[in-house]
Structure 1
Amino acid sequence: MGRVPTDSLPTPPPSPPVPVLPPLTGPPPPGSRTVRTDDGVDLHVEVDGDEDAPLTVVLSHGFTARLAEWELQRTALRDRARLVLWDQRGHGRSGWTPLTQATIDRTGRDLGQVLDAVAPAGPVVLAGHSMGGMSVLALARQRPELFGDRVVGAFLLATSAGGLVETGVLGRLVKLVRRVGLLPLYLRGVQLAAPVLERLRWRGSPFGRWFTRRLLFGRDDAEPARVRLVQRLLEETPYPVVAAFYATFLDHDESAALEVLARVPVTVVAATHDRLTPAAHGRRIAEAVGAELVVVPGAGHSVNLTRTEVVDRAFLDLLDRVDAAPRRAG
């Protein structure tokens, strides 16, 4: 593909109105389906747009969120493709998982099974935010034959191929705990404490709002209404789910998937003030696969909800590139 841009876009105009997210409780919305995985977990899937569209876009959400985080992109993409959105195991309306299966490796296999069940034929573009992007990378490693034939493009948003816990205070702490052989005990303690913390949890608290603002927003994209929206979205996920998946980020390494991903058009979006998946991780992915790189100044990890116009434009540009690219087998 031959392009490794390191282009940064200028600060965009103010974001559109804060979206109203569909409720998590009550009957599933129209277009809902259930995909049962090979280990018996029921995954909630929603299908939107024209069933006869020539292209399907499958959207995978981030850690402790649910498919509703794509609500704004759903509006922008609906006229361009058939959309498939799903809640990752333990999140949203999907079923819970055995603790041993709360891994990126497993969510990659789940994504493949959603693809097989709901988009069994025709070209597909995979999109993932944060943990969702990691799931896309895991699928590329597990099933490389899909890429270049069935999977014809990928949109990776605020994500990483590995090395998230190598630096900083947390990185040094994890290395120390590993060195003295206490990491399994530490992780088990986190899992045991989670149900107790869930019973004591105060959702919507000022501290939770500060924590959300600190970790998921950037220098100049933290409008109070959006901070509250993201806080509400993330606090829907119970602490036991958070604790179960926590360990998988310590060992996350999908660098082997990058060679596979290079077969198709890819766009990587990174935010300059992302504290969870810093922009350097997006740059490394883009350089490895020859992707279009869009760096969003002043934004944080929730860039799809705060810099909607930039993200939508980058996504639609990717679909244009996919339409123009020759198809070739993987």
Structure 2
Amino acid sequence: MILFAFLQRLFALGSLAIFAVAAWLLWRWYDAWHVSETLGFVGPSNAPLWWGAGLMAFSLLGRFPMLMLLGRSEAGARARRADASEIAGADGSVLHVEQEGAAQGPILLFTHGWGLSSRIWAEARADLGSRFGLVFWDLAGLGRSGRATAGYSLDGFAEDLHAVIDSLPEDRPVVLVGHSIGGMTVQTFCARHPELLDRRIAAIVLENTTHTNPLETMVLSRVFRSLQPVIELACKLDTILSPALWVMNWQAYLSGSTHLAARLAGFGTRPTREQLDRTARLITKNSPAVQARGNLAMLRWSVTDRLPRIDVPAVIFVGGRDLITKDHAGEAIAAALPQARLVRVDDAGHMGPVERSAFYNEQIGDFAEFVRLLRSRPAALSRRSFLSPDADLAPPAPKDNERDDRPRPDLSAHPSARPI
């Protein structure tokens, strides 16, 4: 989310400047009015009052017109809470975990993107909970999880994920679903624990994620890669200035500047107002210091040379309008994994699992059904059959600008296959 962090900071400074100008205009009008009242002069012009009041209203209430402008009024799923528990992370930190959904069959374990929390998965909760067990957790330092006690790293996140997996019933297959840094966490976990693949872990789903330093796979990567020392210095400064930045970020949220940054960097289509506000709010609520440390961790990470070790059925989503993680990152992952299928959503941005949730969740649901059949009747289905040239998962017909670049297995003839 480094691109978003850059735009958020840029727009937040602009929003703060508007607030400062508004305060100066109001003070200027008040001072002139006070002097005129004291000395009996003719009252000052009210122009600074009106301009100051208008700019102040925008800096504190601009979120509402910005949502009207940038988002759709369409109603959708809203974030809700499920049965929650706290477990110990790998370093002893407290991890917030929520469980819901079906009591039988595969468990879908969701890991969110950086700066967000498990609240981002509202659509997945609504679409998939009736068919599968769902588990959501907050990465250390984000949402309701406690801060990491041993520092922030992808290896640490992967071991926290391991702790969450160990807390789940052993008799149910687990499908790992990761978005952005969540996908990086899933890849790191699988590379560190290949012995669990195809045993404890039945399959993985990677959404809009990369396999290396995110500066290498974002828009204008050459520019940002050359600026990596500056970006690292800025992240270190963020950890020092965190309290001031937290106040500034909330002012930017109220003004709608954070929503503009989220819309430009995160979404490829026009999201609903609730989706846009949810994304902006979650990023604003989380500590700037924690987010900066996580960004530093991403800049020092790569799993590229370990991808061939991740030998488990995998679905890789890429967004054609994703600026934070360009589609070639997902393509490289799909090419390197032994059992991967690429799903391209041409009009999705980095927040594709939110803005194009219906399509993403349809594909995940069909894939999880395949995993269910594969685990229950291994003799009937080859574990690699979903890669065969004439295979087809028989999903719902893709919507406009949505296509699947890899063939999938035909399950329709199987006696226990669920009609689509």
TM-score normalized with structure 2 length? 0.66
Alignment of 1:159-308 (within 5 A): 159-166=209-216, 167-174=221-228, 177=229, 187-201=235-249, 202=251, 203-218=253-268, 220-261=269-310, 263-289=311-337, 290-308=339-357
Which deviates the most, 106-115 or 287-296?
287-296
Q: What one-letter code is carried by the residue in structure 1 that aligns with 2:244?
A: V
Q: What one-letter code is carried by the residue in structure 1 that aligns with 2:361?
A: D
Check conservation: 1:41, 1:89, Cα contact below 8 A.
yes
Matches of 2:293 and 2:88, distance apart in 1: 20
Alignment of 1:1-330 (within 5 A): 17-22=75-80, 29-51=81-103, 53-98=104-149, 101-166=151-216, 167-174=221-228, 177=229, 187-201=235-249, 202=251, 203-218=253-268, 220-261=269-310, 263-289=311-337, 290-325=339-374
Matches of 1:316 and 1:38, distance apart in 2: 30
CA shift in 2, pair 1:157/1:185, >3 Å: closer
Q: What one-letter code is carried by the residue in structure 1 that aligns with 2:343?
A: V
1:3 counterpart residue number: none
Matches of 1:240 and 1:163, distance apart in 2: 20
The higher radius of gyration belongs to: 2
What is the root-mean-square deviation in Å for CA atoms of aligned residues?
2.4
CA shift in 2, pair 1:186/1:221, >3 Å: closer
CA shift in 2, pair 1:257/1:115, >3 Å: farther
User: Unmatched 5+ residue regions in structure 2?
Assistant: 1-71, 384-420
Check conservation: 2:236, 2:292, Cα contact below 8 A.
no
CA shift in 2, pair 1:204/1:304, >3 Å: farther
User: Unmatched 5+ residue regions in structure 1?
Assistant: 1-13, 23-28
Q: What one-letter code is carried by the residue in structure 2 that aligns with 1:157?
A: E
SS in 2 for 1:165: helix
Deviation at residue 137 of structure 1 after TM alignment: 0.7
Check conservation: 1:15, 1:307, Cα contact below 8 A.
no
2:51 counterpart residue number: none
Moved over 6 A (4+): none
Deviation at residue 159 of structure 1 after TM alignment: 0.7
**Residues 257-280 of structure 1, C-alpha deviation per residue, up to 9 Å, x if partnerless?**
42232x221111111111111111
Deviation at residue 227 of structure 1 after TM alignment: 2.2
SS in 2 for 1:110: helix
Matches of 2:118 and 2:261, distance apart in 1: 22
Matches of 1:125 and 1:226, distance apart in 2: 25
Which deviates the most, 131-140 or 189-198?
189-198
CA shift in 2, pair 1:169/1:18, >3 Å: farther
CA shift in 2, pair 1:15/1:295, >3 Å: farther
Q: What one-letter code is carried by the residue in structure 2 that aligns with 1:69?
A: I
TM-score normalized with structure 1 length? 0.84
Matches of 1:252 and 1:15, distance apart in 2: 39
Deviation at residue 18 of structure 1 after TM alignment: 3.0
Deviation at residue 221 of structure 1 after TM alignment: 3.3
Matches of 2:369 and 2:232, distance apart in 1: 47
SS in 1 for 2:95: strand
Q: What one-letter code is carried by the residue in structure 2 that aligns with 1:231?
A: A
CA shift in 2, pair 1:163/1:38, >3 Å: closer
Deviation at residue 183 of structure 1 after TM alignment: 8.0
Q: What one-letter code is carried by the residue in structure 2 that aligns with 1:142?
A: R
Count residues with an aligned counterpart.
300
Matches of 2:130 and 2:73, distance apart in 1: 21
Deviation at residue 299 of structure 1 after TM alignment: 1.5
**Residues 203-258 of structure 1, C-alpha deviation per residue, up to 9 Å, x if partnerless?**
3322211111111011x334444322321222121211111211011122112442
Matches of 2:258 and 2:145, distance apart in 1: 24
Matches of 1:194 and 1:240, distance apart in 2: 5
CA shift in 2, pair 1:276/1:185, >3 Å: closer
Deviation at residue 30 of structure 1 after TM alignment: 4.5
CA shift in 2, pair 1:199/1:206, >3 Å: closer
